[in-house]
Structure 1
Amino acid sequence: MQRTNFHDMACSIARTLDVIGEPWSPLILRDVWAGFAKFDEIQADLGISRKVLTERLNHLVDHGVLDRRPYDRRPRYEYVLTQKGTELLDMLMAMANWGDHWLAGEAGPPVLYRHHTCGEIGRVELRCSHCGEPMHGDNVDLLPGPGAAVA
């Protein structure tokens, strides 16, 4: 089945989905972030087919989200987050925060986040880069930006 190409849309959400919108991609990024660097480690943790994992890893490398580094002469590779990939972790933490709030159930969240700066367990919150106040979908307006599509 051919995937829809969102790359050329004048929408940052669509363009982001073009890179990581396939359901395995965020889970692969999560695994690399959690320390699963080698193909076999990621494959075993996710239970994903080797073919699909190869396709997803190639896609993420091609888009500059992951780097592939050889670790033996076969060659075999380990995967590391690039700066571009590291910045996607913010979005994954926001997704996890929503999942913790709405889907965690009685057991509570499966993962806690300890902040390096203060050493405390915290959760991700979106804040305005100008005033520092919380930003949510119900307290912002969407305005055309410089990259908006021209009608």
Structure 2
Amino acid sequence: MLQPTDMDWTDPECPVARAADLVGDKWTLLIVRDSLDGKRRFSEFEKSLGVAKNILSDRLRLLVERGILTRIPNERGTRSEYEPTTAGLDLFTLVLSLRQWGERNAFGTNERHSTLVTPATGQPVPQLRPLGPDGSELKPQETLLVKVGHPAT
């Protein structure tokens, strides 16, 4: 697994920049999305995404190196499966947030698109919103960026 010290970070002190360095590529995010939707095999990703084999192979390798997916070989050593790690599962909130943003901002009125529902109710997953300590919706202007931890050496 890749260690943080092994990367050449775009902005070493910014968590958003580091996350983008790890999963910000279009194909990488779509592979993560598909893995969270239950796809496991190279052929499933390839069919779903329509991506070139060399790009898919490279992104799967990077996701394994970065600790986001784990590669599980079968008994014969062929046709491995890829499963999200704890870090990969932790990307669900990001993928859901991007999905919901896309539903609101990337489609015209009544334009056909997919949506994520809860199986028990068939209802769309509620909109993600950051909440303040009092439970009200938190706005960007109500936050403050501070540095934590030790300075980089």
Q: 1:131 — aligned with what?
A: 134
Q: 1:140 to 1:116 in 2, by over 3 A?
A: farther
- Measured at CA, do residues 117 and 149 of structure 1 come closer, stay the same or move farther in structure 2, by a change above 3 Å? farther
Q: State the superposition RMSD in angstroms.
A: 2.6
1:86 to 85, 89, 107: 89
1:38 lines up with 2:41 in the alignment: yes
The CA deviation at 1:34 is: 1.7
C-alpha distance in structure 1 between counterparts of 2:119 and 2:136, whole Å: 22
What secondary structure does 2:38 align onto?
coil
CA contact (8 A) 2:67 2:87 kept: yes
2:103 is aligned to 100
Q: Distance in 2 between matches of 1:66 and 1:120?
A: 29
Instruction: Give 1:7 deviation, angstroms.
Output: 6.2
TM-score by length of 1: 0.81
What's 2:147 paired with?
145
Could you tell me how far apart the structure 2 residues matched to 1:73 and 1:146 are?
Answer: 48
User: 2:32 matched to 1:29?
Assistant: yes
Q: In structure 2, give the amino acid aligned to 1:112.
A: T
Conserved? CA contact 1:38–1:79, under 8 Å: yes
CA distance in 1, matches of 2:145, 2:36: 34
Name whichever of 126-135 and 44-53 sits farther off: 126-135
Question: Does 2:109 align with 1:69?
Answer: no
Mapped to 2, the partners of 1:128 and 1:147 lie a distance apart of: 24
How many residues align structurally?
146
Runs (5+) with no aligned partner, structure 2:
1-6
Label 1:79 to 1:93 Cα distance change in 2 as closer, same or farther (>3 A): same
Change (3 A) 1:92 1:136: farther
Per the normalisation by structure 2, the TM-score is 0.81
Deviates more, 1:78-87 or 1:121-130: 121-130
Gaps of 5+ in 1: none
Q: What's the offset of the Cα at 1:30?
A: 1.0
Q: Deviation at 1:73?
A: 0.6
Identity of aligned residues (%): 27
Task: Please identify which structure carries the higher strand content.
Answer: 1
The whole-number CA distance in structure 1 between the counterparts of 2:127 and 2:151 is 31
